[in-house]
Structure 1
C-alpha cells in the first residue's frame, strides 16, 4: 500500500475535519493511495479539489469539489455518505487557521495553494428580500427549471416529485406514485363537481388524476415556467383542458376562491418559517367552509428550534436555495392558528426513503441521458442530494407528514371513525 504524497495529506485533512481517521480508501491524482479493505474509494482527481476545501473548509468546499467532478466516489455511494453517522460525534467539518498553518508545507509542496477556484455554474446565487415573490421565483426556477427531459428520466412516467406511497415492498415507483395521488384525493374527499386548488402543482400529475378519476375541476398553480408549460401540454393531451387550468402564479396571488379542497404537496418547504402563518391564513381564506386542506411536507426534528438555512450548505447552494424545514408541530400549529381544525396526521417517512432510492436508481440507469439533458454537474447534484436524502429519512433525521385539516362551518362530511386511507374505494 502506497501512502505518501497527496493521499497522506488527504488523510491528515480528513482526520482534522472528522476527528477520526477517514474510513474510506483514497486515490489521488499523483498515483498515491491509501486502502481500507471493503470501503468505497474517494477519488481526488486534481489539486483543485483540495484547493476548494482550503478556501471553503467544510461542506461547501466538499460540495463544490464533488459537483465539479474534481472529487468522486467509486463504490457504494450510500456507504460513503453513511460513515459520519458511525463516528463518536457528528463532525462539524471545519478547518481552523492553526491546522492550515500546520499543513502549509505539504500544501505548498503539492501545489495545492493558489487562488480560489470559481464555483461550479450549478451553484445558486439569489438576490433580493428573502421569500419575496421575485426571489421565490428565482429559487424555484433554480431547482425546477433544469429541463423537463431531465425530470422525466429522474422521476419516471408519473412525473411526481414528492414522496410516493408504497402499497407493499414489491410495488414499483409508478404504482406507489399512483397510490399517493389517490391517497391525497381520498383524504380530501373529492366528489364530482368539486373545485380543487393544487398549490405547487408541479407537472400536473395530481390535477390530472383528480380530474380524470374524481371528475372535479382543478386549478393548479406553480411559479416554475418549465413545469407550467409541460403540465398544460399533458392536460391537453389527456383531453382535460375543460376541467384543469394550470397557472404560472404564486399561491399568494390566487384570488378566485372559494375551493372545496386544497392540496399542498411538497410546497410548504419553500415558504419559510416567517411566512408560514401567512401561508396558512391564505389557504384558510381560499377554502370553503367545510372544505379540506391536505398539507404534505418534509419535517425535521424540533430540537434545534426554527430552521435557519446555512448559506454555505450543499442544500442551500445547490438544491433548495431558501428552503426551510420545520418540525411537524410547527406545521400543525400554524394551521390551527389560522382557524383550521387538524383532523388527521400520517407519517410517510419510510415511504420517502424508498422513493429517494428509486429516483437514484432511475438517475444511475439513465446517467448519460441525464447528463445530456442537463449538465454533468447538475446530474451529480441530484445523485448526491437524493442518496443523502434517502439516508436522512432512513436514519430518522427528517420525516415527511400529511396533515389533513378542515375549515369549520358548512357541511361536516368527515366520517365518525378514522377511515383506512390506504385502502382505495
Structure 2
C-alpha cells in the first residue's frame, strides 16, 4: 500500500463535500493534499480503527494521545482549519450518525476498514479517565476528578506555568508583557477589587499552588486560608509559604469548600475553581460562600464561561476535555452565574470580561511546553504531554474566536441595612496604588 494518503484525502473530500484544507502524510510514506498547508501525519493506521469505533472527537483524541496522529507545521493554523470540519459543526450533526446507519458513511467505513485493518481498535490510552458512574459532584467524585487533573506532578506544572505557578488567566497591560508580570498584575487586580487590608481574613477557594495566598499575605497583610482538593498542590504551596516566611499568615488545607465552617471571612477569592463545581451544585456553592462571608464582605469569582446556546438545561460535554483534561467540568453562560450568585443573596457589583487575556496566557503556556517538550514527556508521559499541548492550543483559539470567555464577577454580601460598602465611584481598582 503506497497510496493511503490519496485514498484518505479523496474519501474525506467526498464526505465533507469540500477540499481538505490540510495535507495528509500516511504511515506508508505517501502524501496528498495542498502544498504548503499544515500536515496531518497519520503515523499508524490504528488511528483509523479508532475512528471507526468512535467516530468524531473521541476517536480523534485517542489517536492523538496515543501518538498515532500528529501535526507538522503551525499547530494553531492546523487546528483553526480543522475546527470548522470537526469541533465547530452543528451539534445536531456532530457525531449524530453512525457509519452503519448511512449509505455514504457505510461506504466510507468499508474503505477505512480496508486501510486501517480489522476491528476492534487498540485499548484507549492510559491517560484517559474512565467515565464515572453515580451522581455528579459528590465530594468523593470531585476529589478523584481534581486529582486526575492536578496531581500529575508539580515539576510538570512549574515547567508549563513558570515561576508564578498560577494556573488561570493572566492580566496583560499589553501583548509584549511577560507572563510573570501579567500573572502578578492579575493577582494584584483581584486583591484590589476585594479591597484587602491588614487584619482581614481571606478565604482562597481552590488555592492551587498558593500564589494568591502568598501575594495577599505578603503585599496586603491579610490572614489567608487556602483550600484545595489536590494533595500535591497543598504540599507545594506549604513549601513555598515556609520559604517566604509566611506560615504565621497562611494556612493551606486539603479540604472541600463545602466543609469550610470557620467563617466569617472578610473576603473570598475563587479563581478558576468554579468551573469544577457543576450546574447541579452551583446553587449550593454560591450559598456556601455567601454564608462564609461577613456582611459587607466581597467575593471575587473568576470563571470561564460558554456562550448561551439552545436549551440551557442541556450542557454538551466535550468528550476530549471530559475524558482527558477536566472530568466532570462544566461551563455556564456568565448570565447564569450572575443569576445564581444573586439568588444566593449576593449583590453583583462589577463584571469584567478578560477573554483576550486568556488567549495570550494559553499561548505563553503552549510556548513553554513546546520549548521544554522532551523534559515534559519525561516528567509525565508522552501521552499526557500531548493532551496538554492540544487542549491548551485549542482553548487559545476558542478564546480568540469568542467561543468561550472568562469573567471576573465582583459581588458583595450586603449589610442588613442594604449598605454595600462599595465606593460611590466603582472601579477604583483600575489604577495600581503606589
TM-score by length of 1: 0.95
- Which of the numbers 408, 413, 426 marks the counterpart of 1:418? 426
Partner of 2:408: 402
Distance in 1 of aligned mates of 2:4 and 2:317:
30
Distance in 2 of aligned mates of 1:104 and 1:280:
48
- Give the SS at the match of 2:40: strand
Q: How many Å apart are 1:323 and its aligned residue?
A: 0.5
Matched, 1:83 2:74: no
- After superposition, the CA RMSD in angstroms is 2.0
Give unmatched runs, 5+ long, in structure 2.
Answer: none
Partner of 2:331: 325
Q: How many Å apart are 1:115 and its aligned residue?
A: 1.3
Change (3 A) 1:111 1:159: closer
Q: How many Å apart are 1:396 and its aligned residue?
A: 0.4
- Give the SS at the match of 2:281: helix
Partner of 2:254: 248
Give unmatched runs, 5+ long, in structure 1.
Answer: none
Partner of 1:67: 65
Q: How many Å apart are 1:4 and its aligned residue?
A: 6.3
Change (3 A) 1:227 1:18: farther
Summarize deviations over 1:212-241 as a string: whole Å, max 9, x none. Answer: 000000000000111111011111111101
1:67–1:378 contact (8 Å) kept in structure 2 = yes
Aligned residues: 423
Partner of 1:314: 320
Summarize deviations over 1:55-99 as a string: whole Å, max 9, x none. Answer: 110000000000110000000111111114556973645452234
Matched, 1:118 2:123: yes
Which deviates more, 260-269 or 77-86?
77-86
Summarize deviations over 1:152-185 as a string: whole Å, max 9, x none. Answer: 0000000000000001221100000000000000
Q: How many Å apart are 1:275 and its aligned residue?
A: 1.0
1:345–1:404 contact (8 Å) kept in structure 2 = yes
Q: How many Å apart are 1:17 and its aligned residue?
A: 5.9
- Give the SS at the match of 1:241: coil
Distance in 2 of aligned mates of 1:110 and 1:368:
32
Distance in 1 of aligned mates of 2:85 and 2:52:
23
- Which of the numbers 84, 93, 99 marks the counterpart of 1:96? 99
TM-score by length of 2: 0.93
After superposition, residues 348-367 of structure 1 pair within 5 angstroms as 348-367=354-373
1:292–1:407 contact (8 Å) kept in structure 2 = yes
Partner of 2:12: 14
- Give the SS at the match of 1:323: coil
Change (3 A) 1:340 1:311: closer
Distance in 1 of aligned mates of 2:114 and 2:85:
31
Partner of 2:47: 49
Distance in 1 of aligned mates of 2:8 and 2:76:
21
Summarize deviations over 1:286-339 as a string: whole Å, max 9, x none. Answer: 000000000000001112343655556111111111000000101100110000
Partner of 1:210: 216
Distance in 1 of aligned mates of 2:210 and 2:16:
44
- Give the SS at the match of 1:421: helix
After superposition, residues 280-291 of structure 1 pair within 5 angstroms as 280-291=286-297
After superposition, residues 298-309 of structure 1 pair within 5 angstroms as 298-306=304-312, 308=314
Change (3 A) 1:58 1:224: same
Distance in 1 of aligned mates of 2:307 and 2:56:
23
Change (3 A) 1:38 1:328: same
Distance in 1 of aligned mates of 2:128 and 2:85:
29
Matched, 1:25 2:23: yes
Change (3 A) 1:208 1:267: same
Which deviates more, 201-210 or 302-311?
302-311
- Which of the numbers 296, 299, 312 marks the counterpart of 2:302? 296
Distance in 1 of aligned mates of 2:275 and 2:16:
30
Partner of 1:184: 190
Distance in 1 of aligned mates of 2:391 and 2:17:
24
Partner of 1:161: 167
1:18–1:93 contact (8 Å) kept in structure 2 = no
Change (3 A) 1:309 1:147: farther
